């Protein structure tokens, strides 16, 4: 069974630009969550989608948005990029059920110049 696939793996952008990151979950997983990982802040929850609906949201500004498609694939968009947005962005999928573990992709490393 294929794991969670995130594309691209690496991305370099400049301040003010926008970026879209993609996540393909494990087949059969309808829950997709996004996290931002930085050395200083650790893992921060961005949002969770289930069946195309945002089910939960973290404390990030409105520049961070996401969506989920009918095939459970998800995208995350960040507009008006800032230097502080440089991070590893991780996507995780899981089966339905709050006791289910999350399965993570290898992330997209975003660098803002």
Binding site for other proteins (CB under 8 A): 4, 6, 33, 35, 42-43, 45, 55-57, 90, 92, 98-99, 101-107
Measured from the CB atom, the residue of 5 and 79 that comes closer to other proteins is 5
Q: What share of the chain is helix, strand, coil (3-state, %, to 5)?
A: 5, 55, 45
Measured from the CB atom, the residue of 33 and 72 that comes closer to other proteins is 33
C-alpha–C-alpha distance, residues 73 and 30, integer Å: 9
Q: How far is the CB of 80 from other proteins (least distance, A)?
A: 25
Q: What is the largest CA-CA distance in the chain?
A: 40
Measured from the CB atom, the residue of 34 and 85 that comes closer to other proteins is 34
The C-alpha R_g of the chain, in whole angstroms, comes to 13
Q: How far is the CB of 3 from other proteins (least distance, A)?
A: 9
Q: How far is the CB of 95 from other proteins (least distance, A)?
A: 12
C-alpha–C-alpha distance, residues 46 and 35, integer Å: 5
Q: How far is the CB of 15 from other proteins (least distance, A)?
A: 25
C-alpha–C-alpha distance, residues 25 and 97, integer Å: 16
């Amino acid at each position: 069974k294929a794991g969670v696939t995130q594309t691209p793996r690496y991305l370099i952008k400049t301040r003010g630009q926008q970026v879209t990151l993609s996540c393909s979950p494990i087949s059969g997983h309808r829950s997709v969550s996004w996290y931002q990982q930085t050395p200083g802040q650790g893992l921060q929850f961005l949002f969770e989608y289930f069946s195309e609906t945002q089910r939960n949201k973290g404390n990030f500004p409105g520049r961070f948005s996401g969506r989920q498609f009918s095939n459970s694939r998800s995208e995350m968009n960040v507009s008006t990029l800032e230097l502080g947005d440089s991070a590893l962005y991780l996507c995780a999928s899981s089966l339905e059920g709050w006791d289910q573990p999350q399965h993570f992709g290898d992330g997209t490393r975003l660098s803002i110049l």
